[in-house]
Chains A and B, each alone.
Chain A
Amino acid sequence: MSLLPWTIYVSLAGALLSLAAGSRSHSLARWTALLTAAAAWTLTLLAAARFVPGPGLQTLADCPWIPSLGVRYHLAADGISLTLLVLTGLVATAGVLFSWNIEERTGEFFSLFLILVAGVYGVFLSADALLLFAFYEIAIVPKYFLIAIWGSTNREYGAMKLALYSFAGSAAVLAGLLWAYAAGHGGGFGFAELAQAAATLSRHQQIAVFALVFFGFATLAGIFPLHTWAPTGHVAAPTAASMLLAGVVMKLGAYGCLRVALPLSPLGFAFWQPAIAWLAVIGIVYAGLVALRQEDLKFVIGYSSVSHMGFVLLGLAAANAQAVSGAVLQMFSHGVIAGLLFAVVGRMVYDRTHTRMFADLRKIPLHRLLPFAAAVFVVAGMASMGLPGFSGFPAELTILVGAWRAGPQWASVAALGVLVAAAFTLRAIHLSFFASMDGPQPTGGTHPPEQVLSLAPITLAEKAGALLLVGATVLIGLKPDLLLDWINPALQSPLLQAAFKGGAP
């Protein structure tokens, strides 16, 4: 476990090395990045192997940082953090694999990517609210540049919107944190200390503080109606960035909600709980319906991410151990699935066909030209639909169970979301890979007007990345207690229990 802080340092070192290597050769930069990402992931897996689940955060590093503000450099982890750390390592490694073909400014790309990864590791390891916030902000700038420089559709607008929304959310969080801190007369920024400080505020003030912190974090998690940055930004981003952004960075927001906002003010949480639950389920259904109408494949995936994050937020809002464990499981599951979906759409399809519009894709017999991609996309689609056998199912089941206990009406609306997800996923699968079979078929001689006779084969790097992610989703789909056994004890911590009681009906 004590190796975990090294994930941050290793990633930062790798960022510098990649930058230097990039000026020498692209290949060197790639391998440096891959080794760094894999090394950091290995560290998380090693920690996981020796992990003894327990209710509290296990401290990994703790020293004073800004004494005048009571901010400490305090790193710690519990089962929830560990789940997300393993996810980060997995998606980061897969992301590097899927970026193997980047030729322009390669060193800078991987450098920014690894800084982003380091920031994400930092957030999941922070046990001091301000330290968490600092890492959270560190992650914002690389996001902007990754999208603005290497992205595709509307990239400058998408990058700016994503960066500004993230920053605005974090500004709200800062305001809330400082407010709570000031009420505590300089007690410090640890989660328990902030909760104590916030408890001294009046009821209205607690409600406001909670709103600032929760909705600030929830913006990054894509809560309706503050979600519009997500589809635009993720569509504009290059593949590896989309994988990491939709797969992991959105989870930063949900993690912040769980780790910082929920314990901060149980009273505030109890007040806002119905609103959050409704916004979450509306997001699930609304984003799904919007996805059903998209003509750009990547937009479908972008909106599906918002829909799935709605499940996470529903789980958090339900405020009982079952639902929250489902939410964390869904964070992991969706991280893997989103990574897989963006990898297929961005790297396997778009880099070869240079189009993502259904109108164009349906003329290309992709299922014949890219059978591996078709199979992986079908598997990813099944996982995304929440089909049992894949990680989405136990997650959604657990969330529904917990949400049912908190409010059956929310669970019912969420179940509708499952239906909508099936519809838009199947539509996307059909229109992207299999639609060329409708209409004038090349039965013995007649060729479609725009002939695409062959596409570049799927590289080894892509296959490796895809198999990693597919393996992960199947493994957790069939044996979710690998993660649940870490998550459930962590939910017994006093802070979270207090949040559940304050919020439980």
Chain B
Amino acid sequence: MSAFPLLSLVIFVPWIGALLLACLPRLRAPACRVLAMLFSLSTLGLAAAALGLYDRGSTGYQLVEDHAWIGALNVRYHLGLDGLSLVLVLLTAILAPASLVASWRQERDPRAFGLLFLLLQGSALGVFLALNFFHWFIFWELSLIPAYFLIKLWGGPGAARAAYQFVVYTMGGSAFLLLGFAAIFAATGTLDFARLAQLGADGTLAARLASLGGFWPQAVFLGVFLGFAVKVPLFPFHTWLPPAYAEAPTGVSMFLTGVMSKMGVYGFLRVLWPLFPGPLHAAAVPLLWFALGGVVLGAFAAMRQTDLKRMVAYSSVNHVSYCLLALFAVSAATGRSGLTSEAAAAALSGTLLQMFNHGLSAAALFYCIGLLEARAGGRRGIGDFGGVQTAAPVFAGLCGVAMFSSLGLPGLNGFVGEFLIFRGVWGLAPWAAATACLGLLATAIFLLTFWQRVFHGPRAGAAAGDFADAAGLDIAVLGPLVALMLVLGVLPQLMTGLFNPLITSWANHLVLP
């Protein structure tokens, strides 16, 4: 057990920042922004420290903190870091400050904005680091309230309704998640993820739940599944996403798509799969279809959007569904011949990489849309622009990298993740990989269309008049993101090295002797 509570600091320093902002009502706007930025950057610093302390060779939890907390409910304060969490913590550490910088020109009540954002950041980090359901659920649910207010108070015209739908939908899923865990606690007496993973692996959990009889064991699985499915979101539980992402202000959209959607995938990987390998396997084929639905229909829906922000929102559904596609393919193939550890490892590595890479590219894309919207005085239809490349070449260059990364162009980071996923899924469920190619196709179509209509051709629409190029602030946001996209495209092992042992151990456990 770690003596220095590094992980607790990671989670709580942003919250301390939020508290500070709350207690200083008369702080002026510039100071508020700087303060919020400092505390947000603290995560980057602390995550870097964690990275330094991280032992890439081991597969268990590191920097563990485990203290007694609520004896009556057998709850311990348990935090831990493994490859999966490290990737996501790093993603949050990068995207959070980027989102804040993206909101730097937010005029309305920057103190409240910063306060809420820091709360959101801390909660997201908590989700990735907590290892006991009690405080994990605290972080999971607490992330909703700042998100609600961030969307509602600083969002577009339909923000109130979008925010309400978003929270109620997610809390609905959480209600069933809660029910599922209540049942799990009733059956096993523990809420600790690590312990429950053991019980899931050796079949004890399944046996204890089976004693309920009837369809209740499946109901428990379904409850936990729903909680995560809504969050990702998995088709068909995704209808809350387009309005929420579209109405949210730019910085918030970046964080939502970059980090919060990953919370759902994290839940699948950390909780649903280890605890319910059997039921997941039994349901894997229908679930594969759902994931495919997200991939294909998400991309096709994006094709049909004229609102650029909605387009990227649907594209997010598409990209995140790839992660789940890989997971469900692995689960579907478990226990059958044809499951090779290479294919499984590829699929799972692809999932983790895709999470990180999509976070970067989607956030960058949202920022670009936001910039377009700001330049055009609030319009963001695909037909409102033309020839932006001519008007703002630097911006076009940066946006282009982000777009191609999202497309999956080889040489950029997006390619590696998608390639690994496809390679893995092809080995596990070829029909699914084939169907998913449709999604790839559609993605290419809408992204290239976007590029062509907005950036190419003669200057038109908002770009016809005054269209300033990317300024310092824009480069401060896009620059690091694009740089990472380029670096990770060429050197993906920087990322994969963090979690390869973990993936390998997962894959090995799946393959039958």
Contacts and interface: CB of A to CB of B under 8 A. Distances in A.
Interface of A: 322, 325, 378, 382, 385-389, 393-394, 396-398, 400-405, 408, 411-412, 414-416, 418-419, 422-423, 426-427, 430, 434-435, 437-438, 479-481, 484-485, 488
Contacts, number: 109
A426 B70 contact: no
Nearest to A441: B157
A419 B73 contact: no
B59 to A, nearest CB: 29
Contacts of A414: 179
Nearest to A417: B175
B283 interface: no
B148 interface: yes
A398 B75 CA distance: 12
A480 B171 contact: no
A382 B119 CA distance: 14
A427 B179 CA distance: 23
B182 A397 contact: yes
A505 B140 CA distance: 34
B72 A382 contact: no
16 contacts: A389-B141, A389-B142, A393-B137, A397-B182, A401-B186, A403-B182, A404-B183, A408-B212, A411-B183, A414-B179, A418-B175, A419-B171, A434-B152, A437-B160, A479-B70, A484-B70
Contacts of B475: none
A402 B212 CA distance: 14
A481 B73 CA distance: 8
Contact of A415 (B69, B167, B176): B176
Interface residues of B, number: 38
Nearest to B135: A388
A281 to B, nearest CB: 12
Nearest to A382: B145
A322 to B, nearest CB: 8
Most buried by B among A382, A397, A430: A397
A415 B141 contact: no
A426 B135 CA distance: 23
B225 interface: no
Interface string B386-428: 0000000000000000000000000000000000000000000
Given A415-B223, A434-B153, A394 B70 contact: yes
A389 B148 contact: no
A430 B168 contact: no
A412 B182 contact: no
B167 A422 contact: yes
Given A401-B186, A418-B171, A481-B71, 7 more contacts: A378-B145, A385-B171, A388-B134, A397-B185, A403-B182, A408-B212, A419-B168
Interface string B157-188: 00010001001100110111011011101100
B186 A388 contact: no
B72 A408 contact: no
A433 to B, nearest CB: 11
A59 to B, nearest CB: 26
B70 A416 contact: no
Contacts of B172: 419, 422
B219 interface: yes
B138 interface: yes
A325 B167 CA distance: 30
A480 B70 contact: yes
A397 B175 CA distance: 10
Given A411-B182, A418-B171, A488 B164 contact: no
Contacts of B212: 408
Nearest to A385: B171
Contacts of B181: 397
Contacts of B185: 397, 401
Given A408-B183, A426-B168, A418 B160 contact: no
B186 A405 contact: yes
Given A394-B73, A434-B153, A484-B72, A419 B175 contact: yes
B142 A488 contact: no
Nearest to A325: B72
B178 A397 contact: yes
Contacts of A393: 137-138
Given A408-B183, A426-B167, A388 B138 contact: yes
Interface of B: prevailing SS: helix
B257 to A, nearest CB: 22
Contacts of A389: 138, 141-142
A165 to B, nearest CB: 31
Interface in B491-505: none
B210 to A, nearest CB: 13
B164 A427 contact: yes
Nearest to B134: A388
Contacts of A426: 148, 164, 167-168
Contacts of B142: 387-389
Contacts of B135: 388
Contacts of A387: 141-142, 145
B73 A411 contact: no
A278 to B, nearest CB: 17
A385 B148 CA distance: 14
A430 B91 CA distance: 32
Most buried by A among B142, B175, B183: B175
B230 to A, nearest CB: 11
Contacts of B214: 408
A389 B111 CA distance: 23
Nearest to A400: B182
Contacts of B175: 415-416, 418-419, 422
Contacts of A385: 171
A397 B185 CA distance: 9
A485 B71 contact: yes
B168 A423 contact: yes
A493 to B, nearest CB: 17
A435 B145 CA distance: 17
Nearest 5 A/B pairs, CB to CB: A484-B72, A400-B182, A388-B138, A415-B179, A422-B171
Interface in B217-268: 219, 223
B99 to A, nearest CB: 22
Interface in B125-153: 134-135, 137-138, 140-142, 145, 148-149, 152-153
Contacts of B70: 394, 479-481, 484
A481 B72 contact: yes
Nearest to B70: A481
Given A415-B223, A434-B152, A400 B178 contact: yes
Nearest to B137: A388
A325 B70 CA distance: 14
Contact of A485 (B72, B164, B178, B216): B72
A437 B164 CA distance: 14
A407 to B, nearest CB: 10
A408 B187 CA distance: 12
Contacts of A401: 182-183, 185-186
B141 A388 contact: yes
A181 to B, nearest CB: 37
Nearest to A485: B72
Contacts of B176: 415
Nearest to A480: B70
Given A404-B186, A430-B152, A480-B72, A415 B178 contact: yes
A64 B431 CA distance: 83
A389 B142 CA distance: 8
B243 to A, nearest CB: 15
Contacts of A418: 171, 174-175, 178
Contacts of A419: 168, 171-172, 175
B271 to A, nearest CB: 15
